[in-house]
Structures are given as structure tokens and as C-alpha cells.
Structure 1
Amino acid sequence: MAPKRKGPLQLVQREADDIKRQLDALVKDVQSERRSTEEAFQRCQELHITAEKTLRTLKKLTKADEPAPVGSYDQRKEEEEKRLKSILECLNTLFMQLSPPGPSTSAGDTSKEDSDSDDDEDGEEDDYDDDNDMDNEDEDEKQAVKVPSYLERHIYTALSDFKAEQEGDLSVQRGETLRIIRKTADGWWLAQDTKGNRGVVPKTYLKIGSGVNSVDDDDDDDSGGDEEDDEKRVGDNEAEESEEVEEQDGEEGSESQDKESAPASNWSSVRKALSEIDATDVLSVMGAIPSGFRPSTLNKLLMEGVKYRGSYYLQPELSQSQLSFKDLFLDPDTGRVRARQVKTCVCFTLWSCKMIPTPGVGVQVLSRHIRLCAYDGNEVLSNIHTVRATYNPKNPKTWSFSPRVTGILPTLLDGDCFLRCNSVSPDLGILFELGVSFIRNSTGERGDLSCGWAFLKLTDDTGNPLPNRTYELPVNGGTPAEKDISVEASVTRGSPGGVFQQMLHARRQPKLIIKLKSVNHRSRTQLSLLPETLLHSLSCVHLLALHRQLLADTLVMERPTVQNADLICSPVLSTFPELLDQPDLLDALRSSWLGAETEMSRAQKRDLSYLKQEFVKVYMSSVYYLLHSPSLPCHHWADPSSEEQRARFIYATVDMLKHNQHTSGHSGSPEVFVDPTPQHLAFDVTELTFDLLSTAR
């Protein structure tokens, strides 16, 4: 007789059984230390992915999917969902025990351990009608997924009722089980209940562990006994948790704080901390990111405003009197921008990063990149420039830059950079922040993490510039304000003894490899025309120099008087700085200008007036057209779908404009702006006018 067909719900139940067996085996291995921490964490990751996938499959099931009638379908589905959530809860707690996390490059087989028990299960061919008569003991056994006692350090029980009185509080009831997300020295801990609600609760109301039964048993006692027991538990609880809070916050209050006695200023800091909870904090608690990772400091500065963007530093800087310019002058003999030498002007190449850990399970990495800027140990002294890294999926801990591509290398991937800075600080150097942009698979939250940082001081101990050579910089964890933080705790575990162990230890250290280099005379001349402070890609120097020349002509030579600050009609000057914040449009301009240069004669390339005229024509017939097209999606960092749509539209439009240019016989054809076929954004006078008062620094 042919075996009966299994239904979708039964298959999900068997998958959950298999996950539970593997989880039990993993917990036993961790307790007995039979496996390495890295291997155990990898198995934990794989189980978490499998459990999440099974839970998603279960949620999509309906009664109509079953090949045969199933009794108590909704109840059985709900019970299975609770069991899978309990498994995920246990796995999340196990992540914390196996800190530091991070995916391992070694591949392990986690399905072979329970092959014997799998064979036994495969022999069962019961249909759904037989499953309806399942014993209650089997159902109870499936649902009994408990967190091991040694993993319960983040699971607490409420000693008494607490009612929320202010925004940010979490109401809890006596005996309710909570998970602590963040502990603070002021005694108000961020907690999450079983329903997913989050808020702060006084630590004096909590007892470590999930001892619900022991708490409920006290209900039969008289009220006086309850108060004495609660006071005893409070004292024990504070003694147990003092060490943990001291480790996280550096200090711990000597006495417990009560809701009524907490000062108002304390609550303002609590609400501020609560509002700053994001995906990064949650992932840190779950153990899904290595211990040395932090929220990106440089990304936060970029999001605060324009002060740290390249478009800001490209604008002219006024002198102290604000009646002239500090860094923009014309040479009266040649009519060119006067070259200005600065204290520091270096060119360098980002080579590679090695042994950089990545976020763990439940996180999809959207971008690996380096943000860099001038830094003197206290503050950022230049714009923040970003270079995206490439990597091989087989070796995700190694990042590389400037990949070989057909055509023009995108600016975003170009590791050849320059820095101009006029700071006199003896500690001036380049700060490199290695980062990833990610999205949580379960919630869709986005975030930016710092995977570590490195610093290259640009002078030696005697104050002389560093020689042009390759440098291997150690990557530190935490932020530049923190000291002696490793990217991953396992890196510093133990002290290497012999020479061989020291060599192996050094190879496991995260490193950033860069190379200081010199450039040709033409590039040095173009660099001397740029603003006193700027960090950007070397491939764009010629475009930045031409923009600087147009800026000097318009603001220094063509203005009626020095005191005149009227609006200036110049679409190029008003919109060009935007390209430094949208590198794909800057690449479109580079491509169009390269095409125009190939058609110039040698004499035309040496004629500055001709170059300026052609540059304006190329700009107006390419990038300016793109900037005001409603079909161009908005620029979003690390959004693959948006980047792909923009790239497709940009290349198609540039090809169309080149075709129109060849048809008309000259560059900068104005017919494209009066053609009724393409759509344009509504006209705005700001796209044509350069406002000196609002843009000058």
C-alpha cells in the first residue's frame, strides 16, 4: 500500500522537531565545551536561519492547503507557532553566551548529529486523522522549550506590579517574565515583555531568572510576609547585578532608586536613551554583531547637515571681514585661478582590508565601505568621503577597492584619493572608519555600523611628512574616543607565547592597507587650484579644477564691485556642488566630458577659454538635464533597487543626449530642453541662480 501523503502542517511540525533536537545537542556541546566557540556560534546561526524560515512558512499556511481534513487546525498551528518562537528565544539567548559573534569562514554540517533520530522519524507515515489522536504528553513535550539555566542572565521576573506613569515606562505585572535589553547605572533598565512591548522598569522590581512559579506561590502568604520577601529579593537582586552594570557603565549607584524618588533630570536622560534605541542596539543585545562594532560615528555626522559634505567645502570661503575671499584669487597675468599651497596635500590609495568580521544572522549587508576624513585626534577637519568596498563571497572578511571594470571606474568604488588640509595641528592625520550598511530581515530596519577604525598620522615624531610607501594600519574596535577596544573579542583572547603563535596571532588581527603615493605634474597643478580643505577622488580633480576656474571668473572678475552680492545667473555654479553628494551623476559628467575631450585637438585642450565654454555646454546637455528630470529616482544611500534604477536611467539618458548631440552637429544642443517628449520638473529660479550670501562659507 502506498504511503499516505503528509500535509504542510505536519511537515512543519517535523522540521520543528528536528530544530529542537539540534538545539538540545548544541546546548549540550556548549555546556561540555566539546566544540570551539566559533563552530558553536556558526551552528547557532544556521539554526536561527532555519527556525525563522520555518516560522515564516508556518504563518503562511491555511487550512485549505491541507490534502485531508485536520481536527483543531487553528489550535495546533498556534501551538506550533509558540514552540518555534520559544526556540528562537532560546537561540537569541544562546547568541549572548557565545559572544563574540560573527560568521565563521569554515563550513560545518549541523544535520549529521541527529541522523539516527531522523531515520526513526522518517519511518513514521501517519496521516492527519491519526495525528488527531495524539497523546497530550507528546503535545506538552513539544511545547516545553526552555532556556537553559546558565543562559538566563538576561531573563528576569517582575517581583511586583509596576504601572507606567510617564512616556517610556513599561507596565508590568507580578510574576511577568521580561527580557532586559539595556542596563544603566541609574537603575532604570530597558526591558521587553512577552508581547514585544518595550520600556524602562526600575531594577528593584526585577529578579533574575524566570521563576514565575516561585513568585506565584507567595500569593497565599499574608501581605506582611510578601513585603519582607520582596525586600529580601530586592537586596539579593541588587547584589547579583552590581557587577554587570559596572562593566557596562563604569560605575553603579550605591543605593537603589525608587520611582517616586527619581529626579526629573534622570528621566530626561532615560527618555533620551530610549529614543536612541535602534536596530544596532537590538542586534547588540541579540549578539548578532561583533562586540567591537558601534553605530557609525561619521555616518551620524553626515546625517546632521551639510557641514561635513563635499558640496559644502567646494563653496568659496569668505575672509574675516567678509568683503573678500580667503581661498579664491585670480592671477592677473594669466587669468587663471591662483595656485595655493597648503600645509598638507597627500595622495593615497586604499588597497584592502583583511580579517574584518561581518554582522551575523538575521542581517543583510547592503554596503561595505570606508568613510574617511582629516582628523587631529579631537575633531573632524574636512569633509567625509566614502569609498565602497568589493569582496568575494567565499572570503567576506577581505575587502578590496578599485576593481577592474569596463569603462570608467565609478567614483564610489575608486580608492585613489587626495587630501588637502591647511590645519597646523601636529597630530593631523586621516581617520578611516570601516562600516557596513545593513537591513534586518525580520523587521526591515536599516542601520549603519562601524566595523572598526584606523588612523594614519601624516607626520613622524620629528614633524616630517611620511614617506610614500605602503602602510598596514591596525583596525581598532569601538570609536576613536575609546581606547584598547578590539574589533572582535576572540582576537585578544589569550596571550601568544612562542614566535609561531605570535605570527598566527598577527595574521588574525584586522588590518587596513593603504599606500601613500606621488602624482604627475599635471595633477599636482590641478590640485593646487582646489579649496584649502577637501578630500575626494583623484579621478575627479580635472572637473573640480574647471569648476573652480568658473567660480573665480564669476565671483572675482565679472562681479561689478567687491561689495555686490546680487543673485548671479549661473546654472553650473548653482548645481555643480550637488554632484559631490550624488556620485553616479558625477560619473555621468566624467563620461560626457571624456567624450568631448577625445574630439578636441591638442591646441583646443590648451586653450582655457575654449575648455570653459565646452565644459558649460557638456554640463548643461548632460547632468543639468538629469538633475531636473522627474524620472530620475531620488538618491538613497545603500539602496540597491534605487541605485540600479538610477544607473539604468542615467546611462539611457546620456546615450540619448549624445545621439542628439551628434545629430545636431554640436555639443550643448538646446533643443533637448524644448522637446515636448521628455518630462521636466517645474521650473525653479534657484536652479539658475547662484546666491553668494547663502552658499559662501
Structure 2
Amino acid sequence: MYAADVDDDSDATESSASKSQKTSKVSALSETKTEPRQATVISILPQSKQPPPPKKAEKTEEGISVRGNQFVALVHRKAVNKGDLTVQKGDVLKIHSIREDGWWMAETAKGERGMVPKNILRHCATSEEKPKKQQLMKPESQKPKKTVRVKSPPKRRKIDPDFHNTLECHMSLRLSESNWSFHDLFWNSRLKTIQKRHVFTCKMFRIEKLMKYHVAGQPLGHYIRMCLFDKSANTGRQVVSNYHYVCPQFVQNGIWTFAKKKIPFRPQFKPEFFVRSNYKMHKVVLRFEVISLLKEGNLPVRHAKSFFTEIPILDERGQSLLKNGSRNIVLEAPNVAYNGDTPTMAIHISDIPRRYVRFCDMLPDVLIWNPSFFRISAGYRVGLGHFVRSRQDPTCAGEA
């Protein structure tokens, strides 16, 4: 398209529109209907003299017929040649005439006229095409004559309903009694990390074997549960730490064999665990509980606690009683007179490996966990320290 062609066409269009606008529209419509072309043709019909519009545009072999001459610009286009119209994205244009080469005579809301390409325009639906909203009447509420009470099935209970016995509770920050600070997390401004915490007890344990263990029936599984237990209950609760679980790798003829190598993606089979305790009371002991999974008939699976044992940690003077080395511990049956061979458990006690000491010192004061998570748990605690340090309100435990 050349500039000379645009000028001639625009002058001719304006002169014909000034003589008779209605005659030009009728003639344009008649030409469109009588001379079909292979190219796509869009006919614009006046709104006042047409029947009610259809809901959708009618597709024909010649093109698409729409009602109304209101179009919206899809993109911003600046006038390049003389006679072109500069439009902004979203402008509503009124189309006066169309040409076969795809350039239409459009008019903006300010009264400016010019030629625009049809491929940047989209037809605007008129108000007559929009569906009318109907106000629906609300149904009248009817009260039932009789009510029937139905019992809902009972919900399945968790093994440890107390949140205090979970690992999530002990890995989180713990507020002091005044609720103004965290008593197990201190920030080191010089090193820009949390201050290491030294505790009274920090040892590594390994369960080597469980012997002479027999239980009636055919259990579905077995595991050993460890925790710190307060025999005096001076702390207000008997279990003062989280629960940690270790599963045997093989159970045969009353002998539990534990894994000697690390099993990928099976942390529950790792027989090693570490114990951190800051309690300076000789009544706080390390408790082992042997539990079997039993199923009787159609009843749900039951976690039966068959045997337990307790290892003292400190004496009355606060000195550690956990000496490095192996030992055999005799298990006891809770409140039951056991007539068979007494089960025994072989364990090994050692210090924290030197390569893990700096990570272990960053952990909470009271914790029992898998040593495979030393690094990730220390990183988690450092992240909590950065979060607390950068909070806006120092009197608030977290950000709003």
C-alpha cells in the first residue's frame, strides 16, 4: 500500500460520505452481497435497521458477518503514512467504510479519522448481545418433620497424640518462661551464626542384638522405641524428650538382628542414635521399649509393649554413668510375671565422632535422633537463628 493510494481513497471516501452516508452504506452492502470474492469479507450492518442479533457470529464461505461498527484495537500502532490513524491498545474505534485490501476507515472517540489495518481490530459485542441477568427466587426453606441421629465412624487415633513427644516439637525454637526469649538458641554476632550449646549428656548408642525374645501369635512387625523418662515426674510429665524408633532388619528364632551397614532411604533400620540431654537429675533415665505389632481377627493393628529397660544417665552428684563400651541389658516385662527366658539386649556406647561434634553442638538441649541427619539438622537450626535475628519486632516470636 502506497501513500498516494491512501490519499486518493480517503478523499473519495470522505466526499461520498458527505453527500449521503446512508446511500454509501447501502451501496457497500449491495456490492458485498452481489459480488462474492475469495478473500475474507466482513460486512458491517447498521444497528437500527437489523433484526435481533444472534448469540454468535455466523461463519460463511465468504467470511464472518458481525453486527455493529464498534471495534477495539488489540495493539498500539503509530501512523506511518499520510492518512493513517494512530491508535492505542484498547481504543474503541468506529468503522465507517472498509476496503478489499484490508485497510478500514476508522474514527476514534476524539473524532480523529484515518486508515487502520483490520488485523489489529476485534469486534466489540453490543449491549443487545449480552445475556440478561435474571433474578431467581430463593426456595422456601422447609423444616423436616423428623430428625434421625446417625453415628459417624470413629476416627483413627495416632500412636503419639502428645505433640511434646514429636521430633517437630524438639527441633523448633523453645520460648523461655517469660516468653521474651528463646532459651535454647543464642546468636553469635561475631561469627554470624548460632552459639553452640554444651549439655551434660551427649553420647552415641548402637543396638547390636536382641536375644531370647518370644511373643505369642504371629506379629506383623517389631520395633524399639527410645525416650528420656523422668521417674520422679518433677518436670510435670514422665516423657521429657521425643520418641525415636529403630526397626530390626531380621527376626528369626527369637533373635533380632540389626543392620550393620547403612540402608539407603530406610533410616528406621539404622541402629545408631545419639542422645542429648541437659537434665541434671539422676531420676531422668534413658528408656527402651520393645513393641510388637499384633492383629487379632477383624480388630485394628495393636502396638503391644512387651518389654522395657531403663539405663541411668547421671548419679546423684550429676556425674555421667554412661561409660564407653558394650554391655548386655536385661529387659523387664511391665506388670507381668514372665516365666520364660529373660530377653537381653546388647548395646554399644561411644562418644560423638569428632567430625560431627560441631554439628551436634548446634542442636537442641534435649534430643534423640538419627546421626545421619547431623548436617541437615544443624543447618535447619542456623536458618532458624537467621529468621529470629532478622525479625522486625523483637518481642514477637515470628513475623506477622
Relative distance call for 1:305 and 1:509 in structure 2 (3 A) is closer
1:551 to 1:522, Cα distance in 2 relative to 1, 3 A: same
416, 420, 423: which one pairs with 2:276? 420
Residue 439 in 1 paired to residue 273 in 2?
no
- Which of 316, 324, 328 matches 1:468? 324
Which residue does the alignment assign to 1:381?
240
Q: Whole-Å Cα distance in 2 between the matches of residues 316 and 409 of structure 1? A: 28
Q: For 1:519 and 1:564, locate their aligned partners in 2 and report how far apart those are by CA, in whole Å.
A: 35
Which structure exhibits the higher relative contact order, with contacts defined as CA atoms closer than 8 Å and separated by 6 or more residues? 2
Give the distance between the partners of 1:353 and 1:447, measured in 2 at CA. 21
- Deviation track 1:115-168 (CA, whole Å, cap 9, x = no partner) reads xxxxxxxxxxxxxxxxxxxxxxxxxxxxxxxxxxxxxxxxxxxxxxxxxxxxxx
Q: Which amino acid letter does the alignment assign opposite residue 371 of structure 1?
A: R
Return the alpha-carbon distance in structure 1 between the equivalents of residues 288 and 365 of structure 2: 21
SS of the residue 1:346 aligns to:
strand
Q: Does the alignment pair 1:453 with 2:308?
A: yes
- Distance across 2 between alignment mates of 1:430 and 1:564: 35
Of 251, 266, 269, the match for 1:410 = 266
Shift of 1:463: 4.7
Q: Check 1:565–1:342 CA distance in 2 against 1; reply closer, same or farther (3 A cut).
A: closer
Q: How many residues align?
A: 238
Structure 1 counterpart of 2:115: none
Matched, 1:370 2:229: no
Residues 193-223 of structure 1, C-alpha deviation per residue, up to 9 Å, x if partnerless? xxxxxxxxxxxxxxxxxxxxxxxxxxxxxxx
Shift of 1:402: 2.6
Cα gap change, 1:567/1:531 in structure 2, threshold over 3 Å: closer, same or farther?
A: same
Q: Which amino acid aligns with 1:370?
A: I
Equivalent residues in 2 for 1:514-663 (5 A)? 514-555=347-388, 557-565=389-397, 567=399
Q: TM-score, normalised by structure 1?
A: 0.33
C-alpha contact (below 8 Å) 1:346/1:420 kept by paired residues? yes
Shift of 1:421: 1.4
Q: Post-superposition, which runs of at least 4 consecutive aligned residues in structure 1 deviate over 4 A? A: 460-463, 565-568
- What percent identity do the matched residue pairs reach? 21
Q: 1:307 aligns with which of 149, 164, 179?
A: 164
Q: Describe the shift of the 1:307–1:564 C-alpha distance in structure 2 as closer, same or farther (beyond 3 A).
A: closer
Residue 214 of structure 2: aligned partner: 357
Aligned in 2, Cα 1:302/1:528: closer, same or farther, shift over 3 Å?
farther
1:444, distance to aligned residue in structure 2 (A): 4.3
Retained in 1: the 8 A contact 2:363–2:381? yes
Task: Find the aligned partners of 1:377 and 1:316 in 2 and give their Cα distance.
Answer: 26
Counterpart Cα distance in 2 of 1:340 and 1:301: 33
Q: What secondary structure, in the 3-state scheme, does the structure 2 residue paired with 1:523 have?
A: helix
Residues 462 and 315 of structure 1: CA distance in aligned 2, closer, same or farther (over 3 Å): closer
Which secondary structure does the structure 1 equivalent of 2:305 belong to?
Answer: strand
Query: Higher helix share goes to which structure?
Result: 1
SS at match of 1:540: helix
The verdict on how the C-alpha distance between 1:307 and 1:392 changes in structure 2, with shifts beyond 3 A counting, is closer
- Quote the offset at 1:427 in angstroms: 2.6
Q: Tell me, yes or no, if structure 1 residue 391 matches structure 2 residue 229.
A: no
Structure 1, unmatched stretches of 5+, are 1-299, 492-507, 569-697
1:303 Cα deviation after fit: 2.6
Greater share of residues in strand: 2
CA drift at 1:390: 2.4
Query: SS at 1:365's partner residue?
Result: coil
Equivalent pair of 2:291/2:307 in contact (CA under 8 Å): yes
Q: What is the CA-CA distance between 1:403 and the residue it aligns to? A: 4.5
- Does structure 2 conserve the Cα–Cα contact (< 8 Å) formed by 1:436 and 1:448? yes
Q: Is the 8 A contact 2:392 2:399 kept in 1?
A: no
Shift of residue 467, structure 1, vs aligned partner: 1.2
What value does the CA root-mean-square deviation take over the aligned residues?
A: 2.2
Contact 1:368 1:390 in 2 (8 A): no
Structure 2 letter corresponding to 1:428: V
The 3 A distance-change label for structure 1 pair 365 and 343 is: same
Alignment-mate amino acid for residue 284 of structure 2: L
TM superposition shift of 1:461: 7.0
After TM superposition, give the deviation of residue 318 of structure 1 in Å: 0.7
Pick closer, same or farther for the CA change 1:445–1:382 going to 2, 3 Å. Answer: same
Post-superposition Cα deviations, 1:604-645, rounded to whole Å, max 9, x if no partner, equal xxxxxxxxxxxxxxxxxxxxxxxxxxxxxxxxxxxxxxxxxx
Give 1:351 shift.
Answer: 1.3
CA separation of 1:312/1:566 partners in 2, compared to 1, >3 Å: closer, same or farther?
Answer: closer
Displacement, 1:565? 4.7
TM-score (normalizing by structure 2): 0.56
- Structure 2 CA distance, aligned partners of 1:427 and 1:400? 31
Over residues 523-550 of structure 1, what are the superposed CA-to-partner deviations in whole Å (9 max), with x where a residue is unaligned?
1211110011111111111111010010
